[in-house]
Amino acid sequence: MSNPEPTPLQLPTRKPGLLAMLRSNFLAGLVVVAPIGITVWLIWTLTGWMDSWVLPMIPARWRPENYVGLNLRGLGVVVFLLFTVLIGWLAKGWLGRALLRTGEQIVAQMPIIRSVYGGLKQIAETILSQSEARFDRACLIEYPRKGLWGVGFVAGPAKGEILDHSSEDLIAVFVPTTPNPTSGFLIYTPASEVVFLDMSVEDAAKLVISAGLVYPPARKPKQKGGRQTPKTE
């Protein structure tokens, strides 16, 4: 009678050492502390920059630190906000509009300054308009070539001269870069080649900024092969 084959020895599972445990705890803490620390640092830096720009314009005898004996960080931000609200209130009145027209007429006589002022005014009106334009939704388009897919944001249907030069409906899609989504490419693509995503614009922006590391929560899968066509007016 042959002897049964010996069973291999099962090595006991090694517990992580002190160094590995400290490293794991450090990384877990870093995930929590880093976003908070960076946010606080940005706020602290921006308020300091605003104070250094605004406070020198205030006469020394009117500065609160002369009365309380403390450097009130962020006071420049408060002064700037109040000043901006006051200017906006005056600009809505007939006197403010008259002064604004007079000032723009004077600026229009200055060759270089009028170009700079006109460009900055157009940018400000576009960004800060009360009827703020937003991206409609997130999408996928084949870019920069067939077979490669890029995340984009739908700006709306093509209009005017751009639409006149096309035989089919086009959609304006902004394809952002990673990790800075404020730069990118504006692409007019046929509506039939746009794949709309269920994720929100905010979730798609997080996906782009994180270089694909942060995905939105999973949703109910849809049948493949269908491309949605946007509604154009």
pLDDT value, residue 110:
84
pLDDT lower than 70: segments of the chain: 1-14, 69, 126-133, 219-233
Spatial separation of the C-alpha atoms in residues 185 and 173, rounded to whole Å: 8
Range of the domain at 157: 138-209
Q: 65 is written with which tokens?
A: 């630190």
For residue 174, is it within any domain? yes
Residue 17 has φ and ψ, to the nearest 5°, of -75, 180
**CA–centroid distance for 1 within its chain:** 77
Q: Is residue 163 part of a domain?
A: yes
The predicted pLDDT at position 221 comes to 57
| R_g of the chain computed on alpha carbons | 29
Kindly state whether residue 166 falls inside one of the protein's structural domains: yes
Domain for residue 146, yes or no?
yes
Structurally, the chain folds into a number of domains equal to 1
Alpha-carbon span 6 to 176, nearest angstrom: 62
Amino acid in position 190: P
- The Cβ of residue 104 has, within 10 Å, a number of other Cβ atoms equal to 13
Judge whether 172 lies within some domain.
yes
CA angle 187, 180, 29 (to 5 degrees): 145
Which residues, 6+ apart, have CB-to-CB distance to 135 below 8 Å?
A: 153, 154, 155, 174, 201
Supply the pLDDT for residue 113: 83
Classify residue 64: in a domain, yes or no. no
Give a yes or no: residue 186 inside a domain.
yes
pLDDT at 232: 45
Task: Let me know if residue 200 belongs to a domain.
Answer: yes
